[in-house]
Structure 1
Amino acid sequence: MNLIIAPIIGVVALLYAYYKAVTINKVDVGNERMREISGYIHEGAMAFLSREYRTLLIFAAILFIILGVGIGWTTAICFLVGAAFSALAGFFGMQVATKANVRTANAAKDGGMNKALSVAFSGGAVMGMAVVGLGIIGVAGLYLIFNDITIVTGFSLGASSIALFGRVGGGIYTKAADVGADLVGKVEAGIPEDDPRNPAVIADNVGDNVGDVAGMGADLFESYVGSIISAITLGLIAFGDEGALFPLMLAAVGIVSSIAGTFFVKGNEGTNPQKSLDMGTNVSAIIVIVAAYFLSVSILGTARPFAAIITGLLVGIIIAKITEYYTSTEYAPVKQIADQSNTGPATTIISGLAVGMGSTAMPIIVLAIGILVAFYVSGGSADAAQGLYGIALAAVGMLSTAGMTIAVDAYGPIADNAGGIAEMCELPPEVREITDQLDAVGNTTAAIGKGFAIGSAALTALALFASYTQVVGLSVINLTQPTVIAGLFVGGMLPFLFSSITMQAVGKAAFSMIEEVRRQFREIPGIMEGKGTPEYKKCVDISTTAALREMVIPGLLAVIVPVLIGLLLGKEALGGLLAGALVTGVLMAIMMANAGGAWDNAKKFIEGGEHGGKGSEAHKAAVVGDTVGDPFKDTSGPSINILIKLMTIVALVFGPLIAEFGGMLIK
């Protein structure tokens, strides 16, 4: 079986994404007002992306030179390709998402649920196919060119670097706008969400695309790439060239299965869109399961790797279901937060934090069991290399249907934007009912997607960590060594420091947004009567400037600290740092994502008519909870996923340098 098949399948994914984009462009945009509002959102999103990429160009150029001089110019070239592909995936996804939103709203008006779901999901599918297509073309193509996986790790570093900046920058942007729009619009002015009188409403809708389409796509792009590269690295040790071929073929089959799954996403009037999305996801998973068995037997001559892949898929599904339990309005945790909102914001915050903290237990237990099962079913008791390879394959298995997973996730913000456009353009109530139903499903898929991203991040980081130990020749991390303990503590601290910086960034940006919205309400005549036009662009500019300014320090932290610890204290201390960051990072990510999702849906639960409904004291308390939860679930939480993976890939890429020169402070 030839490696060339993998990049060819990647090209097929890109062609399918192009076909979906062309299909979306043929859908009618709607009336002039819809064109105008959609134009504001598209212009704001693309302007942010353009300014963000110009900023990141400086970072990429500096790191390119450092890599070229310190590691090798071929690795540096791979880094640039990874950064460029990650940026391209975000650009393609954002371009189409900001066109699909208005077409989804118009489709809901003219064609009902089925047509609206089709347009929104097609927009998400473009993002999904762009991510997996560019990912497999990059990894497989560079591996074919250089035939050295240690060089190709540069590609993963490029993807991870852009992903972290994209997630942090996008998260700061979207939450600054969201918090400003909610606190001044909903709580102070008493106007509905997505009301065109709110000056921050366009920035809020732009933020949905910046954070939840481009940011999320970049997050899973680097997880996807990182899992394949770590599996190739460990596969070469365990099975030779066949061990490298297997994860690439598995990823290729996953792309084909994801494309097949998209044909099963069809909505009918009166049915829950969630069932249709679940059908597409399940079909993709079944195809991968069947194909993985035959690939495992034919390429590696054993079914053991297949068992590890099944383990990864099951871990992903179970964590997604646990996440749904803690964040859906259907279950007790969210209802308990809504109940606590009757006694004010303080009890809302307390109950939300309790739900978030409690929600870490089951996913961690499932992850721990999954790691043990993947290791031992792969033959780890007899051959540790095969066991570690099994863990890496579990991550690849979980991400094999990433094309479909990302499509379902990216569908959410498109549906959310469609609802906002319907509100701002005063479309008939039945249109808003359809978009609200699509959006409600989108909230659940987004929460599940975050759980999936956290689980895949943990397995990917662990696999990359195993690859790091192989590169630097580290067989044991001795916890009696003071340097290892020092590294462990510093690593454990980093996710907290990182979250503090990103939370404060949202707070500062939101403060500026709130002041600007208040100023416009105060100074623009007739704005509350609908006669004055808000200055939307000023709010968009506040979010853009704040996001670009505040994303720099967290991004540099993830790159500089691992190299610094490795050079000063040695490879063992760096191993301790990575272990500490992995443990606390996964816990923090789960807690923040689930607490934020639960607060958000507790607010929506009350808005549905419970506890007095909109405008009640319980609703005001729930809005405060949601405001706290916004940066939890959309800025800091998802960014931690990338933090732990980026630090590990930095250690892997700079591993040869650290192995040779590390420990300067203690020598």
Structure 2
Amino acid sequence: MNKLVKFLLVVCAGVAVSIAVSSQVLASEANLIIPDLSSVNFLNIDGRTLLLYGMSICLFGFIFGFVQFMQIKNLPVHRAMKEISELIYETCKTYLITQGKFILILEALVGIIIVAYFGWLKQFEVNKVVIIIVCSLVGIIGSYSVAWFGMRINTMANFRSAFASLRGKPYLVYDIPLKAGMSIGMLLISIELFVMLSILLFINPQYAGPCFVGFAIGESLGASVLRIAGGIFTKIADIGSDLMKIVFKIKEDDARNPGVIADCTGDNAGDSVGPTADGFETYGVTGVALITFIILAVSDMTLQVQLLVWIFVMRLVMIIASSVSYWINGLIAKARYSNVTEMNFETPLSTLVWLTSFISVGLTYLASYLLIPTLGDGTLWWKLASIITCGTIAGAVIPEVVKTFTSTKSAYVQNIVNSSKEGGASLNILAGFTTGNFSAYWMGVVIMILMGIAYGVSAQGLSALMVAPAV
């Protein structure tokens, strides 16, 4: 406890110095005022009403995720497997409860900083400071709840996949984990969008800025703790227990060994809890950043509304694209693989990624043309859609590049295997480093090319909308 007190005192001292240094800073995202979204019509529907309709898509995402969850829960599983699954879940639950208490301690510290910065330095009204703190708690609850959901569904899906594998048919081993991933993803995005749309549509525009800032602070705090702590826990519980299993010659999956439970708990903490919370935070703060950029960079109120509505419709369209692609790919995969005894799991996954990308790109251009056909000089709708498309293509191309170096049938992977057989540990390490460097290089090349294309498109007239040219 004394160490914790000392740590908090040091942090508070650092914060005091930071506040003193930033005393001349006058601007803040919390000062943003959201324009009247109903002032502009899209397809004969005002922007506010259009986004209200869009909230039904968020509700669809909730239902989709919950239905997937119940389908997994109702799958058959051996009684002994279920007992071990629940034991791992209880251990993960203990970990998450402990992290939740730690997050609340940090939130108390962050609350002091918020009061000092916004209340004392920025001279905000008391109600605005309270709103920031309350919304930061909402952000924490969001990150924490989706992390808990991800942990719960993954512990269920793991053992149901293992039990399904006993049938000797690989399709369910592919389908169950994918179903769990889609459930987490759809629920995560839908919750995030629902909260942000609620702030845009139902909160007084004068207070929307503080709401967004508080929400971003909270979800960033929750995600960073769960991500960092999850990574540390993985290293300690996972790798530590693996080493002890080797030392004491214990079988890898002997559930009677506490180290195996610690191993599985570490996997869930590092590979499920952390990334789920991180995904929630990343999607949220990106949205806040886009809102901030549009309001600050574009002076014309009408253009602000057009771009804000367009951005959120694009996000809603992606939910539709993902669900439709998953459904189509599921029909194709089931027809091809439901009765086979061998399958390459990468094939249907790659098909899903590319199918989602193509549908997303098509819907992006279609929705942009319908919503903002006259924006700027009349060509900005396809330019903005093209910039988004570069990001969508990156999501499809980068996995293909990575697969070149990590696929089980990859020449690079086979080279590592042969190096291990012929040259021992040293050659294995060298082969791995070489493959890793090649992989990083080509990933960097792909990202640079797509970013260059996006920048080139953005230079074709988008600056005319901005208050100042790009730096």
TM-score, normalised relative to structure 2: 0.75
Q: Please, which of 235, 242, 247 is the counterpart of residue 182 of structure 1?
A: 242
The structure, 1 or 2, with the larger RCO (C-alpha pairs under 8 Å, 6+ apart) is 1
1:201-239 per-residue CA deviation (whole Å, 9 max, x = no partner) reads: 111112222221221112222222233232333334343
Out of 184, 190, 214, which is 1:127 matched to?
184
Q: C-alpha separation between the residues in 1 aligned to 2:56 and 2:464?
A: 30
Match of 1:296 among 353, 364, 368: 368
Partner of 2:36: none
Count of aligned positions: 389
Checking the alignment, whether the CA contact within 8 Å between 1:235 and 1:242 is kept in structure 2 is no
Look up the match of 2:429.
349
CA distance in 2, matches of 1:69, 1:12: 41
How far apart in 2 are the matches of 1:118 and 1:198? 30
Alpha-carbon distance in 2 for matches of 1:474, 1:310: 23
Paired with 1:280 and 1:339, the residues of 2 have a C-alpha distance of 32
| 1:315/1:366 contact within 8 Å kept | yes
**Which residue does 1:39 correspond to in 2?**
86
Opposite residue 382 of structure 2, the aligned amino acid is A
Secondary structure at the counterpart of residue 429 of structure 2: helix
Change (3 A) 1:203 1:330: same
- Give the conservation status (yes or no) of the 8 Å contact 1:337–1:348: yes
| Alpha-carbon distance in structure 2 between the residues aligned to 1:110 and 1:347 | 39
Q: Which residue, 394, 399, 421 being the options, matches 1:315?
A: 394
Contact 1:14 1:130 survives alignment (8 Å): yes
Residue 212 of structure 2 is matched in structure 1 by 152
1:193 is paired with a residue of what secondary structure? coil
Partner residue of 1:373? 453
Correspondences of 1:389-404 after superposition (within 5 Å): none
In the alignment, structure 1 residue 7 sits paired with structure 2 residue 55: yes
Residue in 1 aligned with 2:322? 258
SS in 2 for 1:330: coil
Other structure's SS at 1:313 match: helix
The amino acid that maps onto 1:99 is: M
Q: 1:112 aligns with which of 169, 173, 191?
A: 169
1:142 to 199, 202, 210: 199
Note if contact 1:64-1:80 (Cα within 8 Å) is conserved in structure 2: no
How much does 1:151 deviate?
A: 4.6
2: CA distance between counterparts of 1:163 and 1:193? 31
Provide the residue aligned with 2:222 in structure 1: 162
Write the distance in 2 (CA, Å) between the matches of 1:289 and 1:475. Answer: 26
1:68–1:75 CA contact under 8 A, matched in 2: no
Alignment partner, residue 442 of structure 1: none
Q: Is the 8 A contact 2:242 2:263 kept in 1?
A: no
Decide which of 412, 417, 430 is 1:338's aligned counterpart: 417
Q: Is 1:280 paired with 2:352?
A: yes
Residue matched to 1:204: 263
- 1:112 is paired with a residue of what secondary structure? coil
Q: Which amino acid aligns with 2:200?
A: Y
Alpha carbons of structure 1 residues 139 and 202: separation in structure 2 relative to 1, 3 Å: same
Answer yes or no: is the 8 Å Cα contact 1:234–1:385 preserved in 2.
no
Q: Is contact 1:64-1:77 (8 Å) kept? A: no
Give the Å deviation of 1:244. 0.9
3-state SS of paired residue (2:146): helix
Match of 1:51 in 2: 98
The structure number with the bigger radius of gyration is: 2
State TM-score, norm by structure 1. 0.54
In 2, the alpha carbon distance for the partners of 1:339 and 1:176 equals: 31
Answer yes or no: is the 8 Å Cα contact 1:261–1:280 preserved in 2. yes
Amino acid of the structure 2 residue aligned with 1:27: L
Verify the 8 A CA contact 2:244 2:259 in the aligned structure 1. Answer: no
Shift of 1:85: 0.7
Could you tell me how far 1:159 is from its partner in structure 2?
1.9
Q: What is the aligned partner in structure 2 of residue 271 from structure 1?
A: 343
> How far apart, CA to CA, are the structure 1 residues paired with 2:397 and 2:251?
36
* Pairs within 5 Å for 1:466-477: none
Q: How much has 1:117 moved relative to structure 2?
A: 3.3
C-alpha spacing 1:328/1:181, structure 2 compared with 1 (3 Å): farther
**Contact 2:174 2:345 survives alignment (8 Å):** yes
Q: Secondary structure at the match of 2:75?
A: coil
**Structure 1, 150-159 or 77-86: larger mean CA deviation:** 150-159
In 2, the alpha carbon distance for the partners of 1:220 and 1:207 equals 19
Distance in 2 (CA, whole Å) between partners of 1:223 and 1:272 is 31
Letter in 2 for 1:260: V
Structure 1 residue 191, shift from structure 2 partner? 5.3
CA contact (8 A) 1:11 1:133 kept: yes
Q: What are the superposed Cα offsets for residues 453-483 of structure 1, whole Å, 9 maximum, x if unpaired? A: xxxxxxxxxxxxxxxxx9xx9975xxxxxxx
Which amino acid is the alignment partner of residue 278 of structure 1? S
- Cα distance 1:296–1:284, how it changes in 2: closer, same or farther (>3 A)? same
Percentage identity across aligned positions? 28
- Aligned to 2:191, what secondary structure does the other structure show? helix
Change (3 A) 1:6 1:243: same
Q: How far off its partner does 1:124 sit?
A: 2.0
1:607-646 aligned within 5 A: none
Distance verdict in 2 for CA 1:157–1:358, change over 3 Å = farther
Distance 1:359 1:306, change over 3 A: same
* Residue 143 of structure 2 is aligned to residue 64 of structure 1: no
In structure 2, the partner of 1:363 is 443
1:380-411, Cα deviation, whole Å (9 max, x unpaired):
25443769xxxxxxxxxxxxxxxxxxxxxxxx
